[in-house]
Structure 1
Amino acid sequence: LVWVALIYSIFSTVIAHLVGRKLKNLNIDRQHREADYRAALLRVRDHAEQIAFYNGGEAETGRLKQRYLRIRDNWRRLTNCEFRQETFWATYVRISIFIPILATLPMYLAKTMTFGDMMQTRTSFARVQDSFGWFTDAYRRLIEWAAVIERLSGFQTALEQAEQKSPSLQSHQTDLPHHSGKVVLQNLTVYTQTGSPLLTDIHLQARSPEWVLLEGRSGIGKSTLLRVLAGLWPYYHGSFSLEGSRLF
């Protein structure tokens, strides 16, 4: 019966994986869609006044509904897959109860084994089955853990790629001498995250308490330049120096 339990466990494990192999991708997708929906809700809450000024309530409601429908679609597919997996698991448990009984029934009918011996055999088989069938019993939990690990791994990979791209755009940065209350920009070029230039070859010198006005059409990179000076935007090429706690 030990070999029967082992073979049955291996067979059940393979079937469990075939039935529930989509659970990991569905769980990863669920985390992404729920995170997008939460981010959209936070954005609407933080910009509620601006949305009201522009009468954008209907448009924002439509966007939120689209994101919610994506969550609902994912949950339906996830629920259907979990239902199939749980149905297989319940069938697997029920069959494992009858295997030792069917195996020992001929000996019991031939009166070479007592009913007590049959129950002891069933108990022993159940213990062996629990050991061999751990993977099948914990399959759903393992899949959920695998989904979390894969998403965190993807996030870590994205961070490493961003760190690798940053030095390539700053390879020609040099330190300039610092002067109190002064900002100096030399040959500064600001890029997008994909490496496309926004502002190129900027030369600027200003000293406090002077005022500097950055003027231009929307989208050319004015705010991004300020992010570079504040240390929030690593995608630039060139050099700059600034000092003074009240520079901006």
Structure 2
Amino acid sequence: MRRIGSFLHDTWRIAGPYWRSEERWRARLLLGVVIALNLSLVGMNVLLSYWNREFFNALQAKDAEAFWALLFWWRQTESGPMPGFVFVAALYILIAVYQLYLRQALQIRWRSWLTRRVLDGWLAERAYYRIALTDPGTDNPDQRIAEDLRFFVDNTLALGLGLMRSVVTLFSFVLVLWGLSGPATLLGIEIPGYMVWVALAYAVLGTALAHLVGRALIPLNFNQQRVEADFRYALVRLRDNAEGIALYGGEADERRGLLQRFHALIENWWQIMVATKRLTFFTAGYSQVAIVFPFVVGAPAYFAGRIPLGGLTQTADAFGQVQGSLSWIVDNYRDLTEWRATVRRITGFLDAIEAARGAAAAGAGVQALAEARPDMAMDGVTLALPDGRVLLEGAAARIGQGEAVLVAGPSGAGKSTLFRAIAGIWPFGSGRVHVPKDATVLFLPQRPYLPLGSLRRAVCYPRAATDFADAEVREALDLAGLGHLAPRLDEEDAWDHRLSGGEQQRVALARALLLKPQWLFLDEATASLDPEAEARFYALLQERLPGTTLVSIAHRPAVAQYHRRALRVREGRLVEAAS
């Protein structure tokens, strides 16, 4: 029971905020209509139960008039006025269609809201970056957002409405079955409504056995979602790095890696197949026996003439409805295991987001403090790697507004990590970085990020493409040496694959010229350019962005001439050096 309580608590933790959100009244109204239609289907099933009895009684009595009336019009019966089947079926279809349509409308609204909420939390305080560094156990966030949220919403509504319908069906048909089954004598004791108790015993036994047989599916379904996502991620990585793999000739190694991940997927799937086979043996047999069981129990009364054929079919239908309602867990056991696995993955992801944002709010790592000041200052900054190894210790420096500063040092000394600390995203270390409040800052890494979409969006990133006039964007491209791409500004393509490394860096440089940041940090942002192009770019920066503070990481000595100061990372220390 404790596990069930914990699971339901986790489920409400995910679902609850939506029903208390700004959409709560529309969502509740839509859910209320769906519930009403769902329960109307139960009422239609009760009506069909009585119609079925009258129809088969008419067949047994060879009453052609009653037969045709019950099909196409209506007839007065012992149960009251009975509409024809065409009217019952038309109403049933109408209710079923709109119940499904409105349920799907609720699903997409709920999923949209939940996706926005999780995305906001994942992106806030750069939680996505901190999680990637500090919590490798939170695998495949893309799958948890794109698929797990969909599974959660779909299964929560489907299973919740199904359970509600089963409960209402149970109470509705228990009354019908109680009246139809009559008493039975067992060991001298008269048992009223005996078929109700038989259905209850049958369902309770089936539920217990289904859980015993199928409980192994819970961890297996959880793991299957993980290995499926791992395999898909590896395929995406191959696609995104196709050129590098081709240049290395790494196809054989990639194949080994992909097949290794696929093997893990297959192994887990075989285990699911074995567990599902055992569960299906039980559930299929359970369902097949349930078809004939009520006829076997009711047959003595029918052959004794105490009930007509219609009464027997209604008794069998009512027994099936009661037994089916009581067997809801048996019938939905696999869906329940998948739902539980999905809830575990989503709550684990939410926990990781909260932990990452909590660490950011508590100032874990190097703190970047925005203050009303014109310069930037580092105070006792210590940088470490995730394994605890210290890269830089006690760094202190000041960079004034409008300066051009070169950060130098050997590869692996911590220069790029220092930039991450200045940006406020590095969680390992201590100290403070004081940065100007409300200053516009742009970081250009060695490998530029080009978002999905048009080339115009890539140039304007992270600002909106509509923030700039067409002439401004074209001029920036031309200055960066990409004027030939101007006619393709609004063409959508995989630009990070279409353009060479040097061209991608030129797009990033065009971005800097277009955005005109007050502080510009370049982490080997011109490393893929030839020395002449690199020199032209730095000269262009001095001309076009004269008031911009420029901080560069570079290894080429020629870059130093465009900077007035130099800071060198040497043996874990940050020291002033001649530029």
Q: What TM-score range do you get, normalising by the shorter chain? A: 0.7 to 0.9
Alignment counterpart, residue 69 of structure 1, candidates 263, 281, 284: 263
Secondary structure of 1:233's partner? coil
Is the Cα–Cα contact under 8 Å of residues 245 and 251 in structure 2 kept in the other structure? yes
1:215 pairs with 409, 423, 445, which one? Answer: 409
Q: Which one of 156, 178, 183 corresponds to residue 376 of structure 2?
A: 183
Determine the structure 1 residue equivalent to 2:22: none
Counterparts in 2 of 1:97 and 1:178: CA distance versus 1, 3 Å: same
Secondary structure at the counterpart of residue 201 of structure 1? strand
Q: Which residue number in structure 2 is paired with residue 238 of structure 1?
A: 431
Q: CA deviation at 1:209?
A: 4.1
Where relative contact order (Cα < 8 A, 6+ residues apart) is larger, the structure is 1
Task: State the shift of 1:22 in Å.
Answer: 1.9
Q: For the Cα contact (< 8 Å) 2:369–2:435, is it kept in 1?
A: no
Residue deviations 1:132-176 (CA, integer Å, cap 9, x gap): 112221222222211111100111112223334442635977665
Residue 48 (1) aligns with residue 242 (2): yes
Amino acid at match of 1:51: I
> Which runs of structure 2 are paired with 1:151-162 in the superposition (5 Å)?
151-162=345-356
1:204 matched to 2:397? The reply is yes
Corresponding residue SS for 1:237: strand
Q: Distance in 2 between matches of 1:171 and 1:42?
A: 33
Q: Deviations over 1:46-92 (max 9, x none)?
A: 22222333333322221111111111112222222222222221111
In the alignment, residue 417 of structure 2 is paired with which amino acid?
T
Displacement of 1:206 after TM fit? 2.9
* Within-5 A mapping of 1:123-162: 123-162=317-356
- Pairwise CA distance, 1:125: 0.8
1:19-168 matches, cutoff 5 A = 19-108=213-302, 111=304, 113-114=306-307, 116=309, 117-166=311-360, 167=362
**1:184·1:206 contact (CA, 8 Å) conserved in 2?**
yes
Question: Residues 113, 159 of structure 1: CA spacing in aligned structure 2 closer, same or farther, 3 A cutoff?
Answer: same
Structure 2 CA distance for partners of 1:64 and 1:171, relative to 1, 3 Å? closer
Contact 1:176 1:239 in 2 (8 A): no
Contact preservation (8 Å) 1:186, 1:204? yes
Paired with 2:237 and 2:327, the residues of 1 have a C-alpha distance of: 47
Distance 1:137 1:41 in 2: 36
124-133 or 220-229: which moved more?
220-229
Distance 1:230 1:40 in 2: 30
Equivalent of 1:5 in 182, 190, 199: 199
Cα gap change, 1:159/1:127 in structure 2, threshold over 3 Å: closer, same or farther?
A: same
- Tell me the TM-score normalised to structure 2 length: 0.39
Query: Structure 2 vs 1, CA of residues 88 and 196 (structure 1 numbering), >3 Å: closer, same or farther?
Result: farther
Amino acid at match of 1:34: E
Residue type at the aligned position of 1:126: G
Deviation at 1:13, TM superposition (A): 0.9
What secondary structure, in the 3-state scheme, does the structure 2 residue paired with 1:211 have? strand
Listed as ranges, the gaps of 5+ residues in structure 2 are 1-194, 442-516, 522-579
Q: Distance in 2 between matches of 1:75 and 1:174?
A: 50
Instruction: Give the structure 2 partner of residue 169 of structure 1.
Output: 364
Query: Over alpha carbons, which structure has the higher Rg?
Result: 2
Counterparts of 2:208 and 2:390 in 1: how far apart (Å)? 52
The answer as to whether partners of 2:214 and 2:279 remain within 8 angstroms in 1 is yes
Question: Given the superposition, is the C-alpha separation of residues 43 and 120 from structure 1 closer, same or farther in structure 2, using an over 3 Å criterion?
Answer: closer
Give the conservation status (yes or no) of the 8 Å contact 1:189–1:201: yes
> Cα offset for 1:3?
0.9
Tell me: CA distance 1:229–1:172, structure 2 relative to 1, closer, same or farther (3 Å): closer
The one-letter code sitting in structure 2 at the alignment partner of 1:233 is W
Structure 1 unmatched runs, 5+: none
- 1:38–1:240 CA distance, 2 compared to 1 (3 A): same
Cα distance, 1:217 vs structure 2: 4.0
Distance 1:147 1:40 in 2: 22
The 3-state SS of whatever aligns with 1:247 is: strand
8 Å contact kept, 2:366–2:424 = no
**Amino acid aligned to 1:247:** L
- CA separation of 1:172/1:141 partners in 2, compared to 1, >3 Å: closer, same or farther? closer
Alpha carbons of structure 1 residues 231 and 171: separation in structure 2 relative to 1, 3 Å: closer
Query: Alpha carbons of 1:95 and 1:151: their partners in 2 closer, same or farther (altered >3 Å)?
Result: same
